Amino acid sequence: MSLMLTILSITILLFIWGKFTPDIIALLSMLSLFAFGILDLNETLSGFSNPTVIMIAALFIIGEGLSQTGWTARAGEKFMELAGKSTTRLLLITTLGSGLLSGVVSNTGTVATLMPVTISSAWSIGTLPSKLLMPVAFGSNTGGLLTLTGTPPNIIVNNTMLESGLEGFSFFEFALIGLPLLIITLVYFKYIGYRLLPNNKTNNKPVDISTTLHKWIEAYKVDDDYYRLRVRSVSPLLNTKIGDWNFETDHHVSILRIKRRHPSRLKRNEPFIEFPNDDTEFMYHDIITVKGDTEAINALMIHFRLGLLPLEPIADELRNNLINQEVGMTEIIVTPKSALVGRKVRIGRFFKRFGVQLMAASRNNSPLTEREITVKAGDAFLIRGIWSDIEQLKDHYENLVIIGSPEGMAKTVTNLTFKSYIALASLILMILLLVLDVVPGAIAALISAGIILITGCVPISKAYKGISWISVVMIAAMIPMGLALQKTGTAELIANGLVSSLGNLHPVALLAGVFLLTTTFSQVINNSATAVLMAPIVIIAAKSLSISAAPLMIGVAISASTAFLTPVGTTTNAMVMSAGGYKFKDYLKVGAPLLLLFLITTLLLVPLIWPF
């Protein structure tokens, strides 16, 4: 047992030290349990086949699906619209929004989505990001308590209950305590927390997609030559192919995109042809987005008997009709060593080999208006293409600089597509399967994640990137620690200590002890690791006193999500630290009163909802 306590103590100290990532620490701990003969091979590797780990990995994919298809960006945009110019309203909406989103999306994904729009909104209404970002982080931690899948500790305590032969928790049962705690968080930040938050000046005014589009419009003058034309029934273009006409050379016009008005009549049922080529056929009522000067467009309309459709304001036109979750725009800079230098390129042309369309060009900060350009070092091009193709463009040509992060910008697109509704339906399906108890939780999550992958809501490569492998590996490697605590009797020793010191007083006193011990661990150790350590201890303590384990396990889930006192207790706290200019003492100052409120609320409500 002394060896087990030594390994546990070293593991905790390594987590606190922070020199190594949590997954490395957990793996070293797991290997040490095998090396010293505490666990056999099957027990050592048991975490990697545990349903908890599988379910959490699948949830990351589901969250990535919602993010990639525009739902999280749409939610963030709506929050900002509701806030208007009121700082207090913005504070409440961002905190509430992060809480609600984290009930269905990972806490990290929630904060990653809301952080840029929160920073932007803070600057736009005349306040500082430091007044909003910590509430967003704390709100996301609290919101994870709204559902069974909201945060890993919920899943861990539930599965521990099931593995111990006890009844688990239903999908929305956590909301019985999670919702009151979220309301308390909102009230706290409105009347107390806001005054405690620092006024830290930071230089992080973000460039959001709207600002970026307006910058492009000014730099490249893209508002001068975009038009939308409709193919009439009398047009000679009907049932012909683009390759039958020399639009570039004879008419000085580039065809950028075609919207089918009646896609159901076509074999492939394509509502949009994002990058038309020579084989693309014109159909009745097609809406064609074209680029060309006014004189060329007028001549084209007369020659082909086309109708002119009104454009939206150019920024909305670009955002709504030329950018979506799959297709985007960005800037590239040509360096002196680039193979493009000296080549002639035609603006508006789609280069199928590279998967991009040249929309506009600029040289020495002045837009180039020529149709054909000889590329020089330093030239800037505005390009349009599939997001993944844009990311891979540097693989085709070295010495090209892509401005910004296309993948990051893709997640700011709020247009919803058919795939967006597939992703949402997959989430709803998972919830229904869990609520109705049709299949085990891990299977429900895998079914929903599988639908998202098969339907292409998230490409396989991005799905793997969307999984926080550090968290997954860390949880899988820490599960054997819980098993070793039970096998060696260490968990029983700690449980007996809790029972002897607090259990004989009153079960509520034991609940307070469990809460304080768990929240102490959670300030310096990942909340999942904390839940893995505490869950078996609590089960044993409850059995020794012949009381229900449910209120104590709920206490573990709550307190594991109360890492309010340090920036290292949870990823979300660390994410906002730099952006908000926070110091260690800011978390202690703002988080301590909230932690006390959580403790009081837990001791008052949990025994009423889940009697001992």
DSSP state letters, 29-75: HHHHHHHTTSS-HHHHTGGGG-HHHHHHHHHHHHHHHHHHTTHHHHH
**Minimal CA–CA distance to 248: which of 209, 191, 205, 291?**
291
In 3D, which of 530, 571, 610, 580 has the Cα closest to residue 112? 571
* pLDDT value at 464 more than 70: yes
Evaluate if residue 411 carries a pLDDT over 80.
no
pLDDT mean over 120-147? 84
Q: Which of 200-214, 532-546, 582-596 has the lowest mean pLDDT?
A: 200-214
What is the model's pLDDT at position 408? 56
Within 8 A by CB and 6+ apart from 295, the residues are none
Average of pLDDT values for 272-294? 84
| Residue 220 reports pLDDT greater than 80 | no
Q: Phi-psi region for residue 489, left (φ > 0), alpha (ψ -120 to 50) or beta?
A: left
Write the single-letter amino acid at 291.
Answer: K
Rounded Cα gap, residues 94 and 10, in angstroms: 39
Among 42-56, 67-81, 164-178, 361-375, name the one with the lowest average pLDDT. Answer: 67-81
3-state helix, strand, coil in the chain (%, to 5): 60, 10, 30
Of 482-491, 516-525, 583-592, the range with the lowest mean pLDDT is: 482-491
- Is 317 within 8 Å of 217 (Cβ atoms)? no
Higher pLDDT, 446 or 497: 446
- Give the mean model confidence (pLDDT) for residues 262-280: 68
| Averaged pLDDT, 134-142 | 91
Lowest mean pLDDT among 248-262, 284-298, 568-582: 568-582
Residue 317 binned pLDDT confidence (cut-offs 50, 70, 90): low
The residue that leads in pLDDT, 310 or 608, is 608
pLDDT of residue 206: 47
Q: Determine if residue 384 is left, alpha or beta; phi over 0 gives left, psi from -120 to 50 gives alpha, anything else beta.
A: beta
Q: Are 27 and 477 in contact (CB under 8 A)?
A: yes
Rg (CA), the chain: 28
- The DSSP secondary-structure symbol of 149 reads T
Query: What does the chain come to in residues?
Result: 612
Pairing of strands 287-291, 272-273: unpaired
Q: What are phi and psi of 401, to 5 degrees?
A: -110, 120
Kindly list the distances between the CA atom of residue 477 and the CA atoms of 243, 361, 365, 538, 563, in Å, as whole numbers in the listed order.
59, 52, 54, 20, 22
140 compared with 119, residue with greater pLDDT:
140
Q: Give, rounded to a whole angstrom, the gap between the first and last alpha carbons of the chain.
A: 30
* Domains of the chain by start residue, with CATH: 222-320 (3.30.70.1450), 329-346+357-410 (3.30.70)
Element (H, E) at 381: strand 380-386
Helix (H), strand (E), coil (C) string for 317-359? HHHHHHCCCCEEEEEEEECCCCCCCCCEEECCCEECCCCEEEE
Return the top range by mean pLDDT from 122-131, 274-283, 391-400: 274-283
The pLDDT of residue 287 is above 80? yes
Question: Angle 553-169-507 (CA atoms, 0-180°, nearest 5)?
Answer: 30
Reported confidence tier of residue 35, pLDDT bands at 50, 70, 90: very high
Tell which residue, 171, 220, 218, 194, has the closest CA to residue 59.
171
pLDDT given at position 67: 74
Nearest alpha carbon to residue 256 among 183, 331, 321: 321
Rounded CA separation 589/281 (Å):
65
Question: Do residues 388 and 396 make contact, with C-beta atoms less than 8 angstroms apart?
Answer: no
Lowest mean pLDDT among 381-395, 446-460, 521-535: 381-395
What is the arithmetic mean of pLDDT over 226-231? 86
Average pLDDT in the chain: 80
Q: Residue 410: pLDDT above 70?
A: no
Strand partners, 258: 273, 288
Q: What is the pLDDT of residue 479?
A: 77
Q: DSSP readout, 211-250? A: HHHHHHHHHH-TTSSEEEEEE-TT-TTTT-BGGGS-HHHH
> Distance (Å, rounded) from C-alpha 356 to C-alpha 288?
18
As given in the structure block, the two tokens for residue 478 are: 């820490």
CA distance 326 to 399: 25
Q: Which helix (H) or strand (E) holds 373?
A: strand 372-374
What is the percent of the chain with per-residue pLDDT over 90, rounded to a whole number? Answer: 13
- Please report, rounded to a whole number, the percentage of residues in the chain having pLDDT higher than 70: 81
pLDDT for the residue numbered 168: 86
At residue 138's C-alpha, the angle toward residues 21 and 95, to 5°, is 135
Instruction: Give the global pTM.
Output: 0.61
Most trustworthy range by pLDDT among 66-80, 131-145, 366-380: 131-145
Most confident of 66-70, 215-219, 229-233: 229-233
Which structure tokens are listed for 53? Answer: 């780990």
* Residue 477 reports pLDDT greater than 50: yes
> 464 and 472 in contact (C-beta within 8 Å)?
no
Compute the distance between CA of residue 366 and CA of residue 347 in angstroms, rounded to an integer.
15
